[in-house]
Copies of this chain bind each other. A is one copy, B any other.
Amino acid sequence: MPEQRAERADAVRNRRAVLRATEQLLTEGGGDHVSLDRVAALAGVGKGTVFRRFGNRAGLLQALLEERSRELRDAVRNGPPPLGPGAPTSERTLAFLDGLGAIAEGNATLLSAHGQACAADKYDDPSYQLWHRHLSTLFADGSPDLDAGFLAHAVLAVFDGDLIRHMTPPDDPRRFTRAVQQMAMALLRRD
């Protein structure tokens, strides 16, 4: 099966412009400052364009989030250990949470906005499912007598933009990641 049909050049250009505009608005004002009207205006594009490309608000933020985490995703899939396959469970978990934590800490407002936009379908988001599968596997491997699927949800639930902002002091930007790692290690400890 060949690709559907190449994307038209202006479409590519516009998608980039929209994504850029979104991230700019996101860093300028809070997450609720990103209305789709504003995004379209700043991108120099019609509103319809934004919706055709991204479906809805949630899709737009999801796309941005995915762009930010693509590198981690590939590294987890095919990269060298400890992020990629091969390392012992606990080391792999630590490496993964280090990566995901860094992304989250650097994109707290985006995370908040995304969480707000995806009301109920958050658990159907392919990115979420990917992270969840990965963590589930790790937990199932490390703590076979616990509910690995639930633990994966629990660890991911903590990646909440507002919580991260709430508990990250200016002088210790990685406190959140360390805390998550510590928690995961406590859960991985074999009983």
* Partner-B contacts on A (CB < 8 A): 30-32, 112, 116, 119-120, 122-123, 143, 146-147, 149-151, 153-155, 157-158, 160, 162-163, 165-167, 179-180, 182-183, 186-187, 189, 191
Q: List 10 A-B contacts (CB under 8 A).
A: A32-B119, A143-B186, A150-B167, A150-B182, A150-B183, A153-B158, A154-B155, A154-B180, A186-B189, A189-B191
Q: Closest Cβ of chain B: how far from A62's Cβ, in Å?
A: 16
**Residue with the highest number of chain B CB atoms closer than 10 Å, among A30, A162, A165:** A162
Q: Contacts of A116 on B, CB cut-off 8 Å? A: 116, 119
Q: Contacts of A165 on B, CB cut-off 8 Å? A: 120
Q: How many copies of this chain does the complex contain? A: 2
**Residue with the highest number of chain B CB atoms closer than 10 Å, among A149, A166, A186:** A186
Q: B150 near A179 (CB under 8 angstroms)?
A: yes
Q: Closest Cβ of chain B: how far from A131's Cβ, in Å?
A: 14
Q: Contacts of A151 on B, CB cut-off 8 Å? A: 183
Q: A123 near B166 (CB under 8 angstroms)?
A: yes
Give bound CA distance, A112 to B119, whole Å. 8
Give bound CA distance, A162 to B160, whole Å. 14
Give bound CA distance, A26 to B53, whole Å. 33
